[in-house]
Amino acid sequence: MKRETTPHFKELLLSLGRKSLTGSSPPVTCIIADGVLPFAVGVAEELGIPIFSFCVHSARFLWGYLNIPKLIEEGQLPFSDGNLYHSINGVPGLEGIFRRKDLPEFCILPDPHHPIINFFVVETIAMTKTSGLILNTFDELEDSCIYHVSSACNNLYTVGPLHAYINSKLGDRARTIASHGSLYSVEEKCL
């Protein structure tokens, strides 16, 4: 995806703001990219356009991701005993509550240098190199993790919970929207 999409994304950004037969559009002055699209960071840097990453998952999950290289270095990853409830130690802000099962699935791979692990770690670290990081959470919910994530990135903005916002705007229609992202029916009793 990175190899094929990068040149097209760059061309799109360059084409915006150019004069054409149908007129012209204003130039791009800022990019907000999905956090899992790190190729946008390189293009934005090359063109001198500020870029912000939008991260839809929790600050806690992101903080766990950002600590994967440290966990590998300390020998906590990979693990071979299969105990997903084993505590992960040494991640500030998550002491006593972080377990192996809270890590992304690729962390069960036996080789810490597996290309999949490297790919996801590089993607996550790219988010911290942007002009800012936008998180779908709010300070009171995850303040300890937000504090630590903010120490790893330039600027951090919490804007959530966005699912509550869309639900408030759409009411009963919100249940039928495909952008909720799951093929399974929603478990409403958990909250």
pLDDT class of 154 with cuts at 50, 70, 90: confident
In a domain, 167, yes or no: no
* DSSP label of 156: E
Residue 16 within any structural domain of the chain: no
Q: For residue 184, is it within any domain? A: no
Give Dmax over CA atoms of the chain in angstroms: 65
C-alpha 52/C-alpha 157 separation (Å) is 10
Query: Does the residue 17 lie in any domain?
Result: no
Strand pairing class (156-158; 132-135) = parallel
The answer to the question of residue 118 being in a domain is: yes
CATH number of the domain within which 132 lies: 3.40.50.2000
Report yes or no on 158 lying in a domain: yes
Task: Write the single-letter amino acid at 92.
Answer: P
Q: Give the predicted TM-score (pTM) of the model.
A: 0.75
Query: What local confidence, expressed as pLDDT, does residue 155 receive?
Result: 92
Q: Which domain holds residue 131?
A: 2-10+25-162
Structure tokens at 74: 């300390």
Encode pLDDT of 98-115 as tens digits.
Answer: 999 888 888 888 888 888
Residue with tokens 């006593």: 96
37: Cα separation from own chain's centroid: 9
Name the average pLDDT for the chain.
83
Given a cut of 80, whether residue 17 has pLDDT beyond it is no
- Give the list of residues 6+ apart from residue 169 with CB closer than 8 angstroms, or none: none
Structure tokens belonging to residue 132: 């800012």
Do the domain assignments include residue 145?
yes
pLDDT of residue 168: 64
Peptide bond into 78 cis (omega under 30): yes
CA gap 113, 102 in Å, rounded: 20
**Other C-beta atoms within 10 Å of 62: how many?**
26
Cα→Cα distances 96→79, 112, 144, 150, Å: 19, 24, 13, 21
Residue 87 domain flag = yes
Bridge partners (DSSP) listed for residue 87 = 99
Alpha carbon distance 35, 53 (integer Å):
5
pLDDT digits (tens, 9 = 90+) for 38-97: 789 999 999 999 999 998 888 998 898 889 889 999 988 888 888 899 999 999 999 999
Q: How many domains does the chain have?
A: 1
pLDDT, position 24 = 72
pLDDT tens, residue by residue, 175-190: 555 444 555 566 666 6
Taking only the tens place, the pLDDT of each residue in 162-177 is 766 666 666 666 555 5
